[in-house]
Chain A
Amino acid sequence: MSRGLSRAGLYLLAGIIALAAAFPFYYAAITSLKSGDALFSMDLLPRQWHWDNYVAIFAQQPFATTIVNSFWVATGVVSVSLMLGLSAAYALSRNRFRGRRLLMMTILGVSMFPQVAVLSGMFELIRWLGLYNRIGGLMLSYLIITLPFTVWVLATFMRRLPREVEEAAIMDGAGPLTIIWRIFLPPLMPAMFSTGLLAFIAAWNEFLFALTFTLTHEQRTVPVAIALLSGASEYELPWGHIMAASVTVTVPAVVLVLIFQRRIVSGLAAGTGT
């Protein structure tokens, strides 16, 4: 009897968790489909499906441009991080040198950097490189966020590959580049994939640098665009538009996450060494 009771309790708990996790997003989606005064009624089901808000954000704002910006920034950051991360992870995981642990900890430490601490220095660097208000500047600055954990996760995965396989390749006459590309990369593809996904999401969601290092609408990324979405007056936020934009940018991320949830979970776990 108590077994059945605890079973029921478990299901109830699971239900509450699912509801708490998913409901706010559901409500946002509902809101985005309302128009006019219906926005201010708190129906949990839309009476009618209105796409006005979606039409509006693409028609009235350069929202499509910001999505494209976000996409390019995230893609660029992911490719660079993976390329650099792979070679760094190789160096870190295959060679035992003095201070290797310290270096790994430092890299992990960098991923915990408060972004604001490098803000002024980064600002200067980006201006000096002529990348201010360009998405190239964002790519550069995002490396500080994505590179450390890319290296960390890939190094963790790489250490799981047996050392003897690498030695077999050395005996076969393979150099470091051949080893990385032809021996390590293929089995690491799943890890590369989940790391890349995590990096993509991190870059897609970043706000502080994007807000500070861009100036014009045309160069903004999605989060900044949403944050700065404004209505007719300061006191009247266009909630319908905001929710529509929110749903639009979230859907790709959510779809990715749902498809690849197992890989994300393993990637996160490896990233913290658990």
Chain B
Amino acid sequence: MLVALLAVAAWPLARTVWFSLTDATLADLGAARFVGWDNYLAYRDGEWFGVLTDPVWWRSVRNTLWFVLISVSLETLLGLITALVLLARIPARPLLQAAVLLPWAIPTIVSAKMWGWLLHDQFGLVNDILLSVGLIARPLAWTADPDLMLGAVIVADVWKTTPFMALLLLAALHTLPRDCYEAARVDGIHPVTVFFRITLPLIRPALIVAVVFRALDALRIFDLIYVLTPNSEYTMSMSVYARQQLVDFQDVGYGSAASTLLFFTIALCTTLFLMLSRPTQGGKA
């Protein structure tokens, strides 16, 4: 099993890092020549070259970070609300849970297409509703207007992944000791106070885990953006950028450099998260 994991994970990763130091092309991987750090940063004839000098790459970094920040925040908030509603004893709860699971089960590509349709500038339902309510005066090009595109991506992502967040938080909420709540009720503490003083601190470790998971997942976003807003540098994520270089431009060396940078960005984020979240786990280790 370790061999299998090594074969499908470690080896390709190592090869990718190697390629990033060569001038390999997709057509002929074998003819790769070692070029050192040229794909990352190089100075030649009075000009700087490499991924790190490409404004499009920097744009993709900005896009990715904004995307992660906004969509993960929204997902956490909405996920928590959803989890709390699912925890309450209301009729038809299984039905509600099923509805919540629906977006999670739908393939990302399908949800991208669905939102593409809902947000369609001429025939989309969203524009239609907003127009009829009078919130907008003319149809908006959600998936083409540079100012709105990232928003559209975020909406679709929030819709698709909030259920995941909600389920993880729900599982955490289920493990909370009931007597805490009964004690709080006996003491006559207001439910809102109970939430902020008891519930939130207790599920904090689970919340952090869920947020980390989502953030790491969001950092590598590819399919949603690739399908919903193709070929636009206004929403291009780091993954989309790397794949474009790799496959569309056939420049394996350069694309691998971008991939490697993404990998290390994510590794860095993971390390930071782990370091930040450790002291809050009670210091039991």
Judging by beta carbons under 8 Å apart, are B105 and A274 in contact? no
Is the Cβ of A144 less than 8 Å from the Cβ of B247? no
CB contacts under 8 Å to B, within A143-179, are 143-144, 147-148, 151
Q: How far is the CB of B150 from chain A (nearest CB, A)?
A: 19
Q: Judging by beta carbons under 8 Å apart, are A114 and B266 in contact?
A: yes
Contact A274/B168 with A116-B239, A121-B13, A147-B4 known, Cβ cut-off 8 Å: yes
Q: Is the CB of B216 within 8 A of A17?
A: no
Find chain B residues with CB under 8 A from A249 CB: 107, 110
Binds B, one of A48-56, A57-65, A251-259: A251-259
Query: Using an 8 Å CB-CB cutoff, how does the interface string of B1-33 with A read, 1 for contact, 0 for none?
Result: 110110111011111101100001010010000
B105-123: CB near A (< 8 Å → 1, else 0) gives 1111111111101101011
Size bracket, chain A contacts: 35 or more
Q: Which residues of A have CB within 8 Å of B216? A: 112
Give the Cβ gap from B135 to chain A, nearest Cβ, in Å. 16
Which of A10, A143, A205 lies in contact with B109, CB distance below 8 A?
A205
User: Does B210 reach chain A (CB closer than 8 Å)?
Assistant: yes
Smallest CB separation, A110 vs chain B (Å): 5
Pair B98/A205 contact, Cβ less than 8 Å: no
Taking a contact as CB atoms under 8 Å apart, the answer to whether A112 and B159 are in contact is no
CB-based contact B107/A10 at 8 Å: no
Whether the pair B9, A223 counts as a contact (CB closer than 8 A) is no
Measured between beta carbons, the chain B residues less than 8 angstroms from A71 are none
Residues of chain A lying within 8 A (CB to CB) of residue B172: 269, 274
**A124 touches which of B29, B90, B110 (Cβ 8 Å):** B29
- Known contacts A10-B88, A17-B85, A274-B175; is-contact A268 B167 (Cβ 8 Å): yes
Q: How far is it, in angstroms, between the C-alpha of A122 and the C-alpha of B16 when the chains are bound?
A: 8
The reply to whether A243 and B114 form a contact with Cβ atoms under 8 Å apart is yes
A22 and B270 form a contact (CB under 8 A): no
Kindly state the separation between the CA atoms of A25 and B238 in the bound complex, as whole angstroms: 29
Interface residues of chain B: helix, strand, loop or mixed (majority): helix
Kindly list chain A residues whose C-beta atoms are within 8 Å of the C-beta of B97. Answer: 261, 265
Closest-CB distance, B258 to chain A (whole angstroms) = 8
Q: Could you tell me if B113 and A42 are in contact, using CB atoms closer than 8 angstroms?
A: no
The answer to whether A124 and B223 touch across the interface, beta carbons within 8 angstroms, is no
A104 contacts B by Cβ under 8 Å: no
Q: Report whether A274 and B110 are in contact in the complex, using a CB–CB cutoff of 8 Å.
A: no
| Contact partners of B98 in chain A: CB under 8 A | 257-258, 261
A217 to chain B, nearest CB (A): 16
Partner of A250, one of B7, B19, B95, B105: B105
B128 touches A116 (CB 8 A): no
A268 to B1, CA, bound (A): 22
Q: Which of B206, B259, B266 contacts A120 (CB 8 A)?
A: B259
**A18: contacting residue among B88, B95, B171, CB under 8 A:** B95
A190-210 contacts to B (CB < 8 Å): 201, 204-205, 207-208
Is there contact, CB below 8 Å, between B243 and A212?
yes
Q: Which among A22, A40, A127, A242 is the interface contact of B29 at CB below 8 angstroms?
A: A127
Q: Given A18-B99, A109-B270, A114-B262, check contact A122 B12 (CB 8 Å).
A: yes
B136 part of interface (Cβ distance < 8 Å): no
Q: Which B residues touch A242, using CB under 8 A? A: 113, 117
User: How does the 8 Å CB contact mask read for B75-115 relative to A, with 1 for contact and 0 for none?
Assistant: 00000011001001010001111111111111111111111
B219 sits at the interface (CB 8 A): yes
Q: Which residue of A lies closest to B16 (CB)?
A: A121
Q: Known A112-B270, A265-B171; judge A147-B5 contact (CB<8 A).
A: yes
The chain A residue sitting closest to B128, CB to CB, is A42
Give A218-257 as 1s and 0s: 1 = Cβ < 8 Å from B's Cβ atoms: 0000111011000000000001001100100110011011
Known: A205-B109, A222-B107. A24 touches B5 (CB 8 A): no
Residue with the greatest number of chain B CB neighbours at <10 A, chosen from A28, A114, A222, A250: A114
Chain A nearest CB, measured from B271 CB (Å) = 10
Residue A115 CB within 8 A of the other chain: yes
Q: Which residues of B contact A250 (CB under 8 A)?
A: 105-107, 110
**B105 touches which of A42, A207, A254 (Cβ 8 Å):** A254
B72 on interface, CB distance cutoff 8 Å:
no
Asked whether, in the complex, the Cβ of A27 is within 8 Å of the Cβ of B125, the reply is: yes
Binding site for A on B (CB under 8 A): 1-2, 4-5, 7-9, 11-16, 18-19, 24, 26, 29, 81-82, 85, 88, 90, 94-115, 117-118, 120, 122-123, 125, 128, 159, 163-164, 167-168, 170-172, 175, 205-206, 209-210, 213, 216-217, 219-220, 222-223, 226-227, 238-239, 242-243, 246-247, 252, 255-256, 259-260, 262-263, 266, 270
Q: Beyond the given A27-B114, A120-B24, A148-B5, could you list 18 further A-B residue pairs with CB under 8 A, ordered by the A residue number?
A: A25-B106, A28-B117, A84-B4, A88-B1, A115-B222, A116-B239, A117-B260, A120-B15, A120-B246, A120-B259, A227-B226, A227-B227, A243-B117, A249-B110, A250-B107, A253-B107, A258-B101, A261-B94
Complex A-B: 5 CB contacts under 8 Å: A18-B100, A39-B123, A116-B243, A118-B13, A250-B110
